[in-house]
Amino acid sequence: MSHERSVSAPEHELSPETVWHIQMPEIRFGLNATEELPVQIRDIGVEAGAHGLVVTDETLVDLGHADRVVSELTDAGFEADVYDESEREPSVSAIDDAVEFVRDQQGESGYDFYVGLGGGSCIDTAKATRVVVENGGSPLEYIAEPTGDGKPIEDAGPPLVLMPTTAGTGAEISPVAILSVEEKEIKEAISSNHVRADAAVLDPTFTTTLPPEMSAKTAMDALGHAIEGYTTHPFDSLLRASDPGSRPVYAGRTPLTEMFSEKAIDLLSNNVRQVVNNGDDLEARSKMLQGALFGAIAGLTAGATLCHAMAYPVGNRYHTYHGETIATLTPASTIDYNSASDPARFARVAELFGIDTTGLTDREAADALKAQYIQLQKDLNVLPSGLNELAGITEDDVDWLAEQTVETQARLLRCNPRPVTKEDVHEIFVDALYNWDPDEP
């Protein structure tokens, strides 16, 4: 068995991994689960009268979601301030601003607890702000070398509860905070189990205000997590870390993550059309939020792969939404390129999509999956037909994107089930320029 593409930590034994573990925040899920936020906060050790910060953005303040959270907290005897300047695709400088706000308000020790409310950007802002306030310095110190200093995070900081308002990113349970490094036009992560929240409260009523276009975009990110997590390396094909404490946060698929992947693919692929066409359908919204959670448990534990690695350079240079970038890249990368790594596994994904694979070879089933995935995007009628429609990307831009993917996304490329070179990535980007002809009905 080859271990050349291990996602293990740098220091490892020359033998396969034999142990897997899963670490999750405490999770509350359900209609109006927001009403249990005070109970959840007490469960994770926050004392009565504590002073917290709700990290969100102006849109969610305008929609009344932030007021709803603050009311629950203050009615239960907590104090709560609001930071509403989270930016989309947060940059290192945006985290510096948030950290400065905290220190101006509460000094070097910061708040007693934090609540992140919003999509992935607000949630990553909350995660990064908490650990930087607690550990000192600036975000770049905790981003891996060579972009940052690679300084280890020693302490998580005060309790953190995350409350998603979209069904897609999975940031509420992930151990990473994705940040844009503006001067280098790349995205990097602060990655550590200390980044992970203590708890998550998932309330589908928060997602009904998500417009059709954003509902579709975030759903494609969730579906990407589920499929990529289902098709990455099995945990026992990877190298064992010499120190169990240094086992990577993306550590390969396990029987547990596979179960979550299968359920996530089913829930997401069968309900996304409904939430795009009728955003007030709470049953469909609940299933989508549950599917996004399950996809994150799978993909953000087992590991995201090539598609996510390619998406970060695109998003950073062209400021595209992450979910729609994943949607444009998935057919060429996750399905077309990676299906050669394990055709039978991709045939199973086709079945989960509802495709009748009777009489098809595994490779034919994978081809049918690609066609069905593209048809799903066309049915939603709000997603771009490829990278060209997404951001005007042409073949002239592809070489830079391929180089950035290979040079800056080793963390994710090590998770990919099939070896990949810059030339491979170049071809995949070209394939993703046009997934279908946008002029055809």
Tokens of 256: 């547990």
pLDDT reported for residue 260:
97
Separation CA 363–CA 343 (nearest Å):
6
Separation CA 441–CA 407 (nearest Å):
39
pTM value is: 0.93
Alpha carbon distance, N-terminus to C-terminus of the chain: 47
Could you give the strand order of the β-sheet that contains 160-164, starting from the edge strand earlier in sequence?
26-29, 199-202, 160-164, 113-118, 51-55, 79-83
CATH 1.20.1090.10 fits 210-431, yes or no: yes
Is the pLDDT score of 62 beyond 60? yes
Of 166-170, 240-244, 282-286, 290-294, the poorest mean pLDDT is in 240-244
Tokens of 178: 């994705």
Is 117 in a helix, a strand, or coil?
A: strand
Q: Can you tell me the mean pLDDT for 60-76?
A: 98
Query: Any idea which residue has 């929609």 for tokens?
Result: 63
Separation CA 177–CA 165 (nearest Å):
17
Closest CA to 40 of 71, 64, 66, 72: 72
The dihedral through the CA atoms of 365, 366, 368, 373 has a sign that is: positive
Separation CA 249–CA 116 (nearest Å):
21
Confidence of residue 10 (pLDDT cuts 50, 70, 90): low
Tokens of 321: 């939404």
Do 305 and 295 form a contact (C-beta atoms < 8 A)?
no
Of 43-57, 155-169, 241-255, 313-327, the poorest mean pLDDT is in 241-255
Domain 33-202 shares a fold with domain 210-431: no
Per DSSP, helices labelled H in 148-254 are 212-231
In the chain, where are the structural domains located? 33-202, 210-431
Tokens of 2: 């080859």
Q: Which CATH architecture has domain 33-202?
A: 3-Layer(aba) Sandwich (3.40)
Is the pLDDT score of 116 beyond 60? yes
* pLDDT tens, position by position, 373-431: 999 999 999 999 999 999 999 999 999 999 999 998 988 998 999 999 999 999 999 99
* Burial class (CB within 10 angstroms; exposed 0-12, middle 13-18, buried 19+) of 110: buried
